[in-house]
């Protein structure tokens, strides 16, 4: 995946060459569409997304069907979901 160029995500770019080499076979580049939902409430995390371009929005709801608010944005400096570090 990163054979010819360094990763564009800051977390991956900060890894040692040895660590990145070990992780690379497990990485898959995917393209997400605008407004595509990667996780829903109470979902179990099955993948971690390292952002190379664009942003991932974290939304919260007060329970209403159409009342959501953006509470966080994740760009090339991070990964989604953020709570994976807390597990």
What string of DSSP letters covers 37-61? -S--TTPPP---EE-SSS-EEEEEE
Q: Strands 56-61 and 49-50, how do they pair?
A: unpaired
More confident residue, 61 or 1: 61
| pTM for the structure as a whole | 0.77
pLDDT in tens, 11-52: 999 999 999 999 999 999 999 999 899 988 788 888 899 999
Residue 9 has pLDDT above 90, yes or no: yes
| DSSP-assigned beta bridge partners for residue 60 | 69
Average per-residue pLDDT in the chain? 85
Tokens 């400096």 belong to 77
Tokens matching residue 70: 């953006």
Helix (H) or strand (E) segment spanning residue 22:
helix 17-23
């Amino acid at each position: 995946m990163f054979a010819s160029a360094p990763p564009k995500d800051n977390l991956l770019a900060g890894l040692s060459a040895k660590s990145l080499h070990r992780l690379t076979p497990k990485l898959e580049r995917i393209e997400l569409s605008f407004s595509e939902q990667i996780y829903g409430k109470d979902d179990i995390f099955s993948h971690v997304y390292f952002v190379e371009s664009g942003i991932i929005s974290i939304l919260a709801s007060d329970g209403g069907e159409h009342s959501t608010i953006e509470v966080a944005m994740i760009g090339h400096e991070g990964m989604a979901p953020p709570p994976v570090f807390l597990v």
